[in-house]
Structure 1
Amino acid sequence: MTEHKAQDTFIRNEREAGIAKLADQLAVKLAERAPKHDEEGSFPFENFADLHQAGYLKLTVPKQYGGDEISLYELVLAQERLARGDGSTALAVGWHIGSMLHIRNTKPWPEALYAGFCKEVVNDGAMINHFASERATGSPSRGGRPGTTAVKTEGGWLISGCKTYSTLSPILKHFTLSAAIEGTDEVGDFFVRRVTATGIRIEETWDTIGMRGTGSHDIILHNAFVPDEAMISRSGSGANSQRIDDGNGWLLHIPACYIGIAYAARDFALDFARNYRPNSLPGPISELPHIRQQIGQIEADLITARTLLYTVADRWDQQPAGRIALKPELGLAKYIATNHALRIVDQAMRIVGGTSLSRKLPLERMYRDVRAGLHNPPMDDVVLRNLATRALEDV
């Protein structure tokens, strides 16, 4: 990883500088382990031990429970820099710290459950993720009814089904999931403690070309018991209908991750261009016009994506009343970031040349990792459709 002397223009104060420094220091450690976990497809438990020890896991927990209560802008700043070290770990932990920010703002959990879990995050390094994806329904953002079912029993619920893309599954002791409530048209969200619930197992299905270290396996549940007090909400209930809509700003942890990977690829290409001197040239390839053209394209894409990403995050922080109306811009920030990240890594590999295909260099891993961004929510077609709908309504 390259260490930059120039101040990042998106760091606006000492607090943000401290968050960036924390993420930078962690990214160095993650970068050292990334090739091994990518090759093996193994889960980086040691990375998460470092994240806990450094206090990263509690960044979005409220101050009243011992967290740092960082803003969305600060989350984006941290996640982008962490991803420069290892995209898989950054994306995986992003689901946790993003979820904690989302829960903090929308307040869907019963207070006692929320307060208790926040303390576990701070003291024990507990993490959370919500599992909704299933093979039969595809992405939950498309609105399919879960095939996972919740059956009422004495004192609680028996949950059965299979959840896919269950990121962080090897390490989570707690997770939430959505399940269809048997005998009704309702869907419930449940808080599951793996340490007390029986009938839960992980099927290690995650074997992909990119993001190989996220541990996004399948979780199989067979009559897993969840007590009544662990039901977070159910559709149609009064409490659920009053849930705060924050526009899902927390999902900006996704584009932040992919821009971080692209930034690392950019740095690698710049270092290569400055130092590679073939004997057919009087100086490094960075002096060649076509290489400078490619570097200029990388900078244009990177600056555009980062500017949009940080601007939208700041607007979300500063204008709580306008968060729902900001959804098209939140989606656009993800669309631009992921597609520009693909182009940036591609340009970086063109600069480095055939050597970039070597597994001894990080670029081929970065190339595979950024491809995953196309399949994280919101999808490109949804983003463009939402922008078109708003434009037509405005007219």
Structure 2
Amino acid sequence: MSIKPLYRSCDSQGASQRSDELRTYAASLIPTLKARAAETARLGYLPSETIQDLEAGGLFGLTTPRKYGGEPVSTRAFLDIVTELGRGDTSVAWVVTLLNVSTWGAATFFGEEAADEVFGGNQPARVAGVLTPRKAVVKKVDGGFLIEEGLWGFNSGIYHANWDMLSIPIVDADGKVLDYGFAMVPKADVEILNDWNVVAIQGSGSSSVAVKNLFVPDSRVTPLSRSIGGDYPSTHLADESLFRTANMPLAALVLTFPALGNGYAALETFIASLPRRGIQYTGYSKQDEAPVTHLQLGEASAKLDAARALLTSHADALDTWAASGQYMPFDDRAKVRRDVGFAEKLIWEAVDLLASASGGSLAAATNPLTKIWQDARMASLHGFVVPNTNFETYGRILCGKEPGTLFI
């Protein structure tokens, strides 16, 4: 049984047609991605054949500005496209998501000089990024900053990037921290530590990276506080609404897209297994004859569709505010963070319900639902989407207190 997409992107007519083409192409890759899933997990990053397939369909260019030859899509279209990829392999959807949202950041958070350098090379820009460092010793020097020593974890997609957007403290000449921000560095200047050894989303290649004594010019360093507030230096992209989208809501929202696709994969996989399964120690020789199975499917599908409706609503709101030329208000941005947590909760509960209904077969490493279940759990643990963190933040705001985080 195939679960058809419930929503379509709502761009202008030409952009909508392009978005539909991209979604259809992403859906066409599902059987191939499933067939390569074991190899992808073994490698720890995406196989070269998968990279070629993604490149051929333009799926790494969802956030490349038109000014630099791209065909950027709306947030709504981004959701639809990545959800299809997630139905094939969560790792592929994760890499496409993280590289595209970091590429969006490279276009949005920096001025024209840096953008020309990143997007004007011989190869299309493909940017990875990490929001917080594990260690970053930085010195202000003439013309820029010297990263004397830096270490960053979970650098998803770095194996397939050509630039890396790494968080650093922004210091003055005396070493006092003035702000935090991003340094845009060539991937060639980054050491990949090859430490991505995990049980879920194994193919995302989310290795740690390190740099030593790396000079970064002022043009390729930008303060985080400026981008959180929507004061983007990318005035050269003023006519492209995607690059006016609210920063933190977008960064949080897109992390749910691979999980949503993975959730639909769980539903499809569970339904496909029913004709071969009974329920042990009962009179049901076919699982799909049992009322409990009908209840489980009804609840799981409702949770997934509710999550999708919630995410779609916020994706449309992000697009609408960006098109209006006004930055999304604080209260609306806070609700995105809250609802990202709730949607992730719904997705995880749906997958876990279906996995639990699979009984002891879930112990088999070869059971495709086992991998889906593991991926769903890992996806739900990213700091931006953890439900309790997001619920607490919004609850603090409702109580008239400070949110306790800048990331709204």
TM-score class, shorter-chain normalisation, is: 0.7 to 0.9
1:100 CA displacement: 3.2
The one-character-per-residue Cα deviations of 1:208-260 (angstroms, maximum 9, x if unpaired) are 121111111121111022234323x2468999994478152322221111111
In structure 1, distance between residues paired with 2:227 and 2:89: 42
The unaligned stretches of length 5 or more in structure 1 are 136-146
Equivalent residue, structure 1, for 2:259: 258
TM-score, normalised via structure 1 length: 0.84
Instruction: Flag the 1:305–1:234 CA change in 2: closer, same or farther, 3 A.
Output: closer
Judged with a 3 Å threshold, the aligned counterparts in structure 2 of structure 1 residues 95 and 273 are, in CA distance, closer, same or farther, namely same
* CA–CA distance in structure 2, aligned partners of residues 240 and 332 of structure 1: 18
* CA distances 1:43-87 after superposition (whole Å, capped 9, x unpaired): 434322321121111122222322222111111111111111111
1:95 and 2:117 matched: no
Distance in 1 (CA, whole Å) between partners of 2:357 and 2:310 is 26
CA–CA separation in structure 2 for the residues paired with 1:303 and 1:194 = 39
Is it true that 1:185 corresponds to 2:177 in the alignment?
yes
Partner of 1:358: 364
Displacement of 1:154: 5.0
The equivalent of 1:126 in structure 2 is 125
State the alpha-carbon separation in 2 of the partners of residues 237 and 258 from structure 1: 30
Q: Which residue of 2 aligns with 1:345?
A: 351
Contact in 2 for aligned 1:167/1:217 (Cα 8 Å): yes
- CA-CA distance at 1:314 after TM superposition: 0.8
Q: Residue 285 and residue 374 in structure 1: after superposition, are their counterparts in 2 closer, same or farther (change >3 A)?
A: closer
1:265-344 to 2 correspondences below 5 Å? 265-276=266-277, 284-320=286-322, 321=326, 322-344=328-350
- Name the CA shift for 1:204/1:238 in 2 (closer, same or farther; >3 Å): closer
**What's the % identity of the aligned pairs?**
21
- Asked whether 1:26 is paired with 2:18, we answer no
**Letter in structure 1 aligned against 2:290:** L
Aligned to 1:143: none
1:326-379 CA distances to partner (integer Å, 9 max, x unpaired)? 223222332123222222222222333222332222111111111122321323
Q: Rate the CA distance shift 1:285–1:381 in 2: closer, same or farther, 3 A.
A: closer
Residues 52 and 125 of structure 1 are in contact (CA less than 8 Å); yes or no, is this contact kept in structure 2?
A: no
CA distance 1:274–1:237, shift in 2 (3 Å):
closer
Q: Which amino acid aligns with 1:194?
A: K
Deviations 1:80-135 (A, max 9, x none): 1111111112112211212334555xx32111321443355xx7343112223334
Paired position in structure 2 for 1:117? 118
Q: Give yes or no for the alignment of 1:387 onto 2:394.
A: yes
Equivalent residue number for residue 218 of structure 1:
208
Contact 2:260/2:347, CA 8 A, preserved across alignment: yes
Q: More deviation in 79-88 or 126-135?
A: 126-135
User: Aligned pair in 2 of structure 1 residues 267, 323: CA closer, same or farther (>3 Å)?
Assistant: farther
TM-score under structure 2 length normalisation: 0.81
Match of residue 9, structure 1, among 1, 6, 11? 6
**Residue type of the alignment partner of 1:218:** S
Stretches of structure 2 that go unaligned for 5 or more consecutive residues are 11-15, 233-243, 402-408
Cα distance in structure 1, aligned partners of 2:362 and 2:224: 50
Matched, 1:165 2:158: no
Q: Distance in 1 between matches of 2:227 and 2:102?
A: 23
The total of aligned residue pairs comes to 372
Equivalent runs, 1:68-79 vs 2, <5 Å: 68-79=71-82
